[in-house]
Structure 1
Amino acid sequence: MESSKKIIGVCVGMLATINTLAQVSVHVNLNMEHSVNGVSEFDRSKFFILHAGINDNDWDNDEQRRELLEDYNVYLGRNNGSIVWEFNQLKEDPDKFGWPDLAHMKQKGTSSKNNYSSKTSSHQFENRVNRMVIGGQPTPMFPNGQKTRPNPCCSDGATPWAYENFDAVAEYYANYLKEYFGDGGNTGMVRPTYLEVLNEPFVHAGELKTTNTQISEMHNVVAKRVRELNPNVKVGGYTAAHPAFESNNFNHWNGTWKLFIDVAGANMDFFSFHLYDFRRTKTGAESQRKGSNIEAIMDMIDHYSVLKLGERKPWYITEYGYLLNEAVLYNKQSDWYQVRSYSTMMMQLMERQDQIVGTIPFMILKALWGTNSEGILYGPRLLRQKKEVAGFEGNGEDWVFTELLTFFQLWKDLKGTRVDSYATNADVLVDAYVEGSTARVILSNLVNEVVTVDLNILTGNSSKITKITAKHLHANEAIEPVLDELDLTGETSVELGAEATMILTYTLDAPIALTETSEEKKYFADKYLQPINANQAIEVTINGVFKDNFGEAILRLGIGRNKGLTVRPQVKVNAQSVIVPSNWKGDDQSNRDKFFGVMEIPVPFELLEENNTISIRFPDNGGHVSSISMQVFNQSTDVSRPGVVLNTDDPLINSVLKVYPNPSKSILNIALPADLGEGILEVHDYSGRKIAEYPTKQVSKIAIGDYDSGIYFVSLKSDKYVLQSRFIIE
């Protein structure tokens, strides 16, 4: 539907339009390729990975497996069970106490490869395991005296025994990868590309009677031996659970991720961690990571990695989604919370396609192995029996897909080259891709309310849009996932459901030509984790910034503070004040113990230099600035954005660009510099939304009588000036 607008008069005879609704505007430049450190092509094998292996016993039948993998273009996977099972079945070396019997390993490895060779129905899917990750479990694989648990069925008479030390366990890992796998087909199952040493080990350190330092040292020993026997396998960790870095005044960070990077970071090929929204058991309130909290977690890991290791490590997010705190019978409401978290979190991870090697939305297949004493299966599950939902038809014992399938149905067609996109509100995520004459625009709503989104899709040439369709994954009144397919041809705005995701497909009458570029790179400050003291400036530098003729910049501040303290500091870039937005991605974090999120602050490109000084000042005590970075987009042409303005509290600006009377009711006079030349005058509301624009040669006063009362900004951009003032309408 058409967005509602009204016309305001301009004293010089011009007309300008402003939005009267509190709508979000999305802007997409289909002809501008957007790359991050040189990466712009969407790689589905990184983002649509199932938590299952190629021979997983939980598939109900071969056709079901084929449908998911091929019809929905999904990849495999992750396996944290097989390596543990085989660990338990081995004999102890009779000549070396506490070490695995390598002859027995070779024998069992040959048997495993022969078994896979005979299962020919799996071989057709070997092109879908290029990002396969396997991982160990703290119990029984951390060597603290734990004994193996051989099963009489498969252990060749082995009896329980304990691995002696890290080296003995490392020998098992290395030989398991060497002996139990091949190159596919008759040679055996394709060797996994990635190894996580242990799954979520730090949360088990107490029960293992060890320390996080010792667990980190184990990662070093395992990585060294695995590489010696399997040079193509990448080793990582620490597969972190619950990354609440801000807890205990950031002592949680110091005792977990910082410690791991200090002890083992240099020896890891990749870092892995888990991200979950969850509902608090005591209060029932939801604590969300999606939004600014995830950004703060990821930025802090990156920033410290750059300072300590001199590089950003690749990441494998081996679990993410919505955490169920208790076992419940299958219900579609739980599926909704999963699919909405999958989509929004994945979009945030897609912002880092240069760094991500894999992401796995956590869902498993039948999970019969996880049935508890009350008969409730482990979850979330991709498969259920028909009888688990009331009113089923047919045989109740049959296994069918759950509503989690809607996630794959929504995203099944996404591919292509990433292009420039922008939203005027941080709570609506936007991304866009083009391929041939087709463009796909993705919208995801981070907040729990319906929002109207105005669509501004620019083709960059004479191509015309001939058709628009959409898939809209949202919740119905029963809080169950619904995937609508819509024909939106001719529409210029959409209603995006609460916490919903929509993918719009635009068909054009000619192939889309990528004639412009936007090249993104992130630069980190020389310091991180700075304590906040009232009215004392935190001074850092961000050096080595490459700046082209055109572009954009965003200053990213990770902030961790107690509730009630401000999260909007005064910020200066190269001694120039900039406006800190009042909004951030996602919810207000009122259900979290503390605020921990990233404030994304637009910085006028003109302010950037090769070496930059950043000053951050808070009016109150407590907390930390956890990370500081500058996100720079060098563009081949000028792209106008709403809301990128200077801070008009700076008297140096107001002394140059004079406006009067101020406050005003109807007419605002503007004293333009005599040597101005050609330029653009823009009017923004207090949120930074641009509501009017005029060529400076045609304006010396503007009519403001139709604006609502409040604070506004008028900014001037020309070859010589970047000026601004604040004015008030009574």
Structure 2
Amino acid sequence: MKGLGILACLLCGFVLQRVHSQVKVEVNLDVKHKLGDVETFERRKFVNFHGTIEQNNWNTDNKIDDLIGDLLGDRDVYVGRNTGTIKWALNNNVTEDPARPGFADPASIATHGLNNRNSYAAKTWAHTYEYLDYQILCNQIFPFYPDGKTTNKGWAFSQTDTEAEPFGTASGEFLGRYIQEYYGTGGTTGQKKPSFVEITNEPLWDLVTVADEPHDLTKIFNFHSTVAKEVHKYNPDMQVGGYCAAFPDFDMDNFQRWRDRDQHFIDVAGADMDFYTIHLYDFPCIGGKAKYRKGSNIEATMDMMEQYSYMALGHVKPLMISEYNAQTHDYNKQAWSAYRDWLKMKSTISMMMQFMERANNINYAMPFFMLKSEWQYNESVGPTSVHGARMLRRENEPTSYTGDFVYTEAIKIFDLLKDVNGTRVDSKSNNMDVLCDAYVEGNKAYVLVNNLDFIGHTLNLEISGIDATPTNIETRHLHLQGGVGGIPKLDIEQVNDLSNGVTLTAEGTYLFIYTYDEDITIDKLSEEKKYYADTYLQEIYSNNPITFNINGVDKGTYGEAMLRVGVGRDHGKTLKPTITINGKTISVPTNFRGGPQTDRDNFFGVLEIPVALADLDTDNEVVVTFPDYGGYISTVTMQVYNFSHDFRPEDVSIGKRNEYKSLSIFPNPVKDEFTVSVENSANKYDLRMYNMAGNRVFEFIDLRGEQTFNVGGLQKGVYMVTLTGNEIKRVGRLVVI
């Protein structure tokens, strides 16, 4: 009867320690995690910022010696995005074609393009770091969009819209010729061509949202199609995309915003886009409220774009997140502060890790940090006029805008991520609010863990897939010190052992670097693939079953799956539907990524629901029923992980004697007591039990044979039970009634 008296004490302890509940992070170093065709950490996609390789302020007024080498070279950081040079060239240099009114003069483009290439050729200090130049070229909306606004040279692009000259032809020709003439292949030939072209930056903000007379959306989207075709005519291999949504609030007005804008864009221009661009910002301080996207909201936003792309075009177009982190409204028009940097930094890391989970469907994810942004500073206003998203600040800020340039706190993001590289390996957290990712390169393993939660957690790291003991463990902990108004800290330590656990602070991030004597062998495989339902955006009615079909699922012998249900609902509506898959009711957790979005106008997020691989067929019927009326199911998708080996047995049905030759757990459901029986009493095992929020409610170690446990002190609901030992590894659900 072991555990009857001890359990009550442990439960009391659990209640008192909820602020630092324990989270299990399991890493299998010998299991490659293949995501589509992506197998490695692609630093250029994620470790970057909003800058350019050739800007002159790399070399002026800097406290840091060899700034470009220190920031880019030593930390292996990529740049960037250029949204200003092309506008300046169009406004101030390029003249109108005398033979074709409304078109840029090709000779003028060529002349100024040669000057630009020669200017870059002379910047030999930049050539060394060209391998880190992974550029997005982007226009500002005016005067590129043809609505009559003139350049500083006194001419405007043609507004003709005919079959022979579709609306936007002149703008697109200019952009195509600009790329041809202004770029070379690197070094003395001129800066290498950009990797991507965004047609315009946030066009609907100027043309629709704040316009006195909103422009026609269909015409704007046809403009994007025309420009993309013109750019491809002059640069066939160039990747071109749009429309660069500033605030993709798909759920606004009961998803009418999505229908009018983003769905409409895909219907009109999607076939001509190589990728779709969106900008994603948290609002952690807006009128005293905190409106976060990180967590389930970002998941719902990206799932919706993916699923509709699949439904409309037959495949998923890649996403470009060319700006993201946080807008700090309540700190605008204030001088620089370390705390404002932190508000942007914490969102950057959380969002970055969510983007990394979709590495196969993302071209680029670029946090909105610029190098100096001196154009923002107004001497007559003083230090309160500085830009809030900078990598560098004046040494004497916030007191005065004087002194040489030094790093802002944002540099700690890149110090945290320095050296991370390698093959992606299997990792899993038992708490949706704790994100994890892991990579192996040679004899080193990198484990990255981020906390979306607003409370701390104790991490229980379980590293398997290698027999050796690490010779060293380096920990890097990025966190806020001092609460609101505090400063970001990056604590770096060398330790020998983590068996006692570590505390991951609220919204903090840990990087663990394990070093071994020999290279780590990766000889197992987890292949992840995502499947999309045949319908989406279904209105919710009370007790009305909504059916989604997910067909063509490739299911292996071993593995696991995750059903993803996007939901947009008013606050107060339930977020726990009844769901069946192929007629079988599955358990729906109450936890989801991030906070409950209380300060947002409504909830828009993804419910992520574990599914046993055994419950899936090639073709699957998913039925979702909510008990109350209101809102929409935005998407239904399924992530399937096929394993080459049974390295993490999937959830098993608990409740019958002798279900396994050596192991039985019964009864299920349970009211008072359940029993664990292991046939071979020589096999020791540990038992742990977790609620669906991922919090451990009790554990017992070094057990043998048959044991009985009392659950009378637990709340009714679904719990996860794990049994681990030398010859035992089982995970299952136990229902307490």
Give your verdict on TM over 0.5.
yes
Q: Work out whether residues 463 and 512 of structure 1, in 8 Å CA contact, stay in contact via their aligned partners in 2.
A: no
Q: Work out whether residues 340 and 388 of structure 2, in 8 Å CA contact, stay in contact via their aligned partners in 1.
A: no
Give how far 1:371 is off: 2.5
- Alignment equivalent of 1:68, drawn from 60, 67, 71: 71
Question: How large is the RMSD of aligned CA atoms in angstroms?
Answer: 3.2
Cα distance change of structure 1 residues 617 and 197 upon mapping to structure 2, 3 Å threshold: same
Q: Which residue of 1 aligns with 2:38?
A: 39
Query: Structure 1 CA distance, aligned partners of 2:12 and 2:639?
Result: 30
Give how far 1:569 is off: 0.4
- Alignment equivalent of 2:446, drawn from 424, 440, 450: 440
> Matched residue of 1:256: which SS?
helix
Decide which moves more: 681-690 or 357-366. Answer: 681-690
Q: Which residue of 2 aligns with 1:235?
A: 240
Cα distance change of structure 1 residues 132 and 27 upon mapping to structure 2, 3 Å threshold: same
Q: Work out whether residues 193 and 232 of structure 1, in 8 Å CA contact, stay in contact via their aligned partners in 2.
A: no
Q: Which residue of 2 aligns with 1:514?
A: 522
Cα distance change of structure 1 residues 481 and 286 upon mapping to structure 2, 3 Å threshold: same
Query: Structure 1 CA distance, aligned partners of 2:669 and 2:321?
Result: 56
> Any residues of structure 2 matched to 1:480-491 within 5 Å, and which?
480-491=487-498
1:369-406 superposed Cα distances (whole Å, 9 cap, x missing partner) = 1224624122311111112145x9xx942111111111
1:393-450 superposed Cα distances (whole Å, 9 cap, x missing partner) = xx94211111111111110111011111111111111111111111111110102222
The answer on 1:81 being equivalent to 2:84 is: yes
- Alignment equivalent of 1:181, drawn from 172, 183, 205: 183
Q: Work out whether residues 369 and 390 of structure 2, in 8 Å CA contact, stay in contact via their aligned partners in 1.
A: yes
Q: Which residue of 2 aligns with 1:413?
A: 419
- Alignment equivalent of 1:369, drawn from 367, 375, 382: 375
> Matched residue of 2:573: which SS?
coil
- Alignment equivalent of 2:486, drawn from 475, 479, 484: 479
Q: Which residue of 2 aligns with 1:378?
A: 387
The answer on 1:543 being equivalent to 2:551 is: yes
Q: Which residue of 1 aligns with 2:361?
A: 355
Q: Work out whether residues 719 and 736 of structure 2, in 8 Å CA contact, stay in contact via their aligned partners in 1.
A: yes
Q: Which residue of 2 aligns with 1:652?
A: none
Query: Structure 2 CA distance, aligned partners of 1:686 and 1:106?
Result: 66
The answer on 1:137 being equivalent to 2:140 is: yes
The answer on 1:727 being equivalent to 2:733 is: no
Query: Structure 2 CA distance, aligned partners of 1:246 and 1:287?
Result: 14
Unaligned runs of 5+ in 2: 161-167, 656-663, 724-729
Query: Structure 1 CA distance, aligned partners of 2:689 and 2:410?
Result: 42
> Matched residue of 2:614: which SS?
helix
Give how far 1:53 is off: 1.3
TM, length-normalised to structure 2:
0.87
Cα distance change of structure 1 residues 695 and 307 upon mapping to structure 2, 3 Å threshold: farther
Query: Structure 2 CA distance, aligned partners of 1:692 and 1:453?
Result: 15
- Alignment equivalent of 2:288, drawn from 284, 289, 295: 284
Query: Structure 1 CA distance, aligned partners of 2:72 and 2:677?
Result: 64
The answer on 1:593 being equivalent to 2:601 is: yes
Query: Structure 1 CA distance, aligned partners of 2:78 and 2:66?
Result: 16
Query: Structure 2 CA distance, aligned partners of 1:7 and 1:432?
Result: 37
Cα distance change of structure 1 residues 639 and 8 upon mapping to structure 2, 3 Å threshold: farther
Decide which moves more: 522-531 or 465-474. Answer: 465-474
- Alignment equivalent of 1:321, drawn from 309, 314, 325: 325
Give how far 1:113 is off: 1.4
- Alignment equivalent of 1:217, drawn from 222, 227, 246: 222
Cα distance change of structure 1 residues 710 and 135 upon mapping to structure 2, 3 Å threshold: same
Query: Structure 2 CA distance, aligned partners of 1:605 and 1:120?
Result: 56
Cα distance change of structure 1 residues 43 and 94 upon mapping to structure 2, 3 Å threshold: same
> Matched residue of 2:58: which SS?
coil
Give how far 1:564 is off: 0.4
Give how far 1:686 is off: 4.1
**Count of paired positions:** 686
> Matched residue of 2:359: which SS?
coil
Query: Structure 2 CA distance, aligned partners of 1:682 and 1:535?
Result: 38
Query: Structure 1 CA distance, aligned partners of 2:154 and 2:80?
Result: 32
> Matched residue of 2:66: which SS?
helix
Q: Work out whether residues 97 and 164 of structure 1, in 8 Å CA contact, stay in contact via their aligned partners in 2.
A: no
Give how far 1:9 is off: 7.3
Q: Which residue of 2 aligns with 1:306?
A: 310
Cα distance change of structure 1 residues 185 and 18 upon mapping to structure 2, 3 Å threshold: farther
Cα distance change of structure 1 residues 174 and 670 upon mapping to structure 2, 3 Å threshold: closer
Give how far 1:50 is off: 2.2
Q: Which residue of 1 aligns with 2:659?
A: none
Q: In the alignment, residue 429 of structure 2 is paired with which amino acid?
A: A
Q: In the alignment, residue 631 of structure 1 is paired with which amino acid?
A: Q
- Alignment equivalent of 2:196, drawn from 194, 209, 228: 194
Q: Work out whether residues 555 and 628 of structure 1, in 8 Å CA contact, stay in contact via their aligned partners in 2.
A: yes
Q: In the alignment, residue 471 of structure 1 is paired with which amino acid?
A: R
Cα distance change of structure 1 residues 19 and 609 upon mapping to structure 2, 3 Å threshold: farther
- Alignment equivalent of 2:108, drawn from 98, 104, 108: 104
Q: Work out whether residues 681 and 715 of structure 1, in 8 Å CA contact, stay in contact via their aligned partners in 2.
A: no
Q: Work out whether residues 34 and 528 of structure 2, in 8 Å CA contact, stay in contact via their aligned partners in 1.
A: yes
Query: Structure 2 CA distance, aligned partners of 1:148 and 1:332?
Result: 40
- Alignment equivalent of 1:398, drawn from 404, 409, 416: 404
The answer on 1:8 being equivalent to 2:14 is: no
Percent same amino acid at aligned positions?
Answer: 37
Query: Structure 2 CA distance, aligned partners of 1:484 and 1:229?
Result: 50
> Matched residue of 1:319: which SS?
strand
Q: Which residue of 2 aligns with 1:579?
A: 587
Give how far 1:279 is off: 3.8
> Matched residue of 2:300: which SS?
helix
- Alignment equivalent of 1:503, drawn from 506, 511, 521: 511
Q: In the alignment, residue 538 of structure 1 is paired with which amino acid?
A: I
Query: Structure 2 CA distance, aligned partners of 1:416 and 1:7?
Result: 46
Give how far 1:327 is off: 3.0
Query: Structure 1 CA distance, aligned partners of 2:668 and 2:44?
Result: 58
Q: Which residue of 1 aligns with 2:661?
A: none
Query: Structure 2 CA distance, aligned partners of 1:199 and 1:712?
Result: 47
Q: Work out whether residues 279 and 286 of structure 1, in 8 Å CA contact, stay in contact via their aligned partners in 2.
A: yes
Cα distance change of structure 1 residues 660 and 619 upon mapping to structure 2, 3 Å threshold: closer
Give how far 1:211 is off: 2.2
The answer on 1:226 being equivalent to 2:231 is: yes
1:152-173 superposed Cα distances (whole Å, 9 cap, x missing partner) = xxxxxx4444544411111111
Cα distance change of structure 1 residues 292 and 647 upon mapping to structure 2, 3 Å threshold: farther
1:131-150 superposed Cα distances (whole Å, 9 cap, x missing partner) = 2111111122110111112x
Q: Which residue of 2 aligns with 1:616?
A: 624
Q: Work out whether residues 654 and 732 of structure 2, in 8 Å CA contact, stay in contact via their aligned partners in 1.
A: no
> Matched residue of 1:42: which SS?
coil
Q: In the alignment, residue 202 of structure 1 is paired with which amino acid?
A: L
Query: Structure 2 CA distance, aligned partners of 1:591 and 1:641?
Result: 39
Q: Which residue of 2 aligns with 1:530?
A: 538
Q: Work out whether residues 367 and 379 of structure 1, in 8 Å CA contact, stay in contact via their aligned partners in 2.
A: no
Cα distance change of structure 1 residues 511 and 8 upon mapping to structure 2, 3 Å threshold: farther
Give how far 1:178 is off: 0.9
Give how far 1:67 is off: 1.0
> Matched residue of 1:620: which SS?
coil
> Matched residue of 1:205: which SS?
helix
Decide which moves more: 481-490 or 538-547. Answer: 481-490
> Matched residue of 1:369: which SS?
helix
Q: Which residue of 1 aligns with 2:121?
A: 117
The answer on 1:275 being equivalent to 2:286 is: no
Q: In the alignment, residue 220 of structure 1 is paired with which amino acid?
A: S
Q: In the alignment, residue 491 of structure 1 is paired with which amino acid?
A: L
- Alignment equivalent of 2:467, drawn from 462, 467, 470: 462
